[in-house]
Amino acid sequence: MSLLTISPSPHVRSSMTTQKIMLLVVLALVPAIVAATVVFGPRALFMVIYCAVISMFTELVCQRLMQKEVTVTDGSAMLTGVLLALNLPVTLPLWEAAIGCVFAVAVVKQLFGGLGCNFANPAITGRVFLLLSFGGDMTTWVKPFYYQGNNFIVKLLMDNPRIPDGVTGATPLASGNANLLDLFLGNVGGSLGETSALALLIGGIFLLVMGIISWHTPVAYLGGLAVLELFYTLATGGEMTDVLYALLSGGVILGAFFMATDYVTTPITGTGKLIFGLGCAVLTFVIREFANMPEGCSFSILLMNLLTPYIDKLTMTHPFGAKPAVKKEAK
């Protein structure tokens, strides 16, 4: 009997490349970018393009300096910039946004070996870095359509624009007084990607239909958060609409579909993805309800990224017929 020699995985191949995946995710974010541009004006679109260009340039410089193969055309750096921009307020000074892009790409991604080697989601980490470094600018929110009927179009294309009094306000999570329909359509203040839940859901469903992401993490994240908010509402005597309010406000939909589903920094098994999503839900709920900040999506995903290797080890399946390696006895 002759032995069967099997080549190394992957055994199933497809025409789906890294570049195609990244471009499809960017395409899925187009509805959210359009909604942000309508709500916050031309600076929102400019911020997205600006962060994408800075991120790509940073990756190009890093790879040149390290004498590595230039892979800036794979789209991963562009997607990092787009996601980071959607996590920023429209009024953030451009130089601060550039620092966030450089930190996300150079430190979080390239310093650890490039695509596939980063320990955490670069866009999430860049957002947390900016929040801790420039807390005032990162928590300055403008009201929807504040730019109409004024000369803000020119001002907001400049760096560090001056925002007049009366056009800033709290995010829906902090104020708690937004209308559910406004939250769903995007007629609220916040980061660029925290406004229109409808636009984000369209993009998320597109990724599910195209097979780019699986249902495990988004369902576990959003479903787990809904259950926790439901029990908390019943325990505190709140209204049932508070559950929908918690799901539609903040960056939880953006995080559940576009950042908690990252291939590199999240578990690879279905069970692991469910555990990851539930962990994000618990941490988001705890930070929102018991910490001194209204939103906890970014911190929850970042913390769960650190636990991903342990979740993979716990849930990893063993190949059929595989036997554990026999240790050789010491001479």
Helix H, strand E, coil C: the string for 264-283 is: CCCCCCHHHHHHHHHHHHHH
List the end-to-end C-alpha distance of the chain, in Å, as a whole number.
34
Greatest CA separation for the chain:
85
Tokens of 298: 């970014």
Angle between helices 297-315 and 122-133 (to 10 degrees): 140
Residue 330 lies in a domain: no
pLDDT at 1: 55
Q: Are 320 and 307 in contact (CB under 8 A)?
A: no
Those residues whose C-beta lies under 8 Å from the C-beta of residue 58, and which sit 6 or more positions away, are 77, 101, 102, 105, 106
CB count within 10 Å of CB 33 equals: 22
Q: Domain span at residue 118?
A: 18-315
Residue 7 lies in a domain: no
Residue 329 lies in a domain: no
pLDDT at 322: 59
CB count within 10 Å of CB 214 equals: 14
Q: Are 259 and 84 in contact (CB under 8 A)?
A: no
Q: Are 272 and 311 in contact (CB under 8 A)?
A: yes
Q: Which residues lie across from 46 on neighbouring strands?
A: none
SS3 (DSSP) at 258: helix
Tokens of 97: 């946004």
How many structural domains compose the chain? 1
pLDDT at 148: 62
Residue 104 lies in a domain: yes
Residue 8 lies in a domain: no
SS3 (DSSP) at 142: strand
Angle between helices 18-28 and 76-86 (to 10 degrees): 20
| CA pair distance 267, 260, nearest whole angstrom | 10
Strands (DSSP E) contained in 170-304 are none
pLDDT at 185: 87
| CA pair distance 169, 175, nearest whole angstrom | 9
Local confidence pLDDT in tens for the 331 residues of the chain: 566 666 666 566 667 788 899 999 999 999 999 999 998 888 899 999 999 999 999 999 999 998 888 888 889 999 999 999 999 999 899 999 999 999 999 999 998 888 888 889 999 999 999 999 998 888 888 878 776 655 554 455 545 455 554 455 556 666 666 788 888 888 888 889 888 899 999 999 999 999 999 999 999 999 999 999 999 998 988 788 889 988 988 889 999 999 999 988 999 999 999 999 999 999 999 998 888 776 789 999 999 999 999 999 998 876 666 566 666 665 5
Where residue 112 sits, what CATH number does that domain have? 1.10.3430
Q: Are 272 and 309 in contact (CB under 8 A)?
A: no
pLDDT at 166: 47
Tokens of 233: 């509402």
SS3 (DSSP) at 170: coil
Buried b (16+ CB within 10 A) or exposed e, 13-32: eeeeeeeebbebbbebbebb
pTM: 0.86
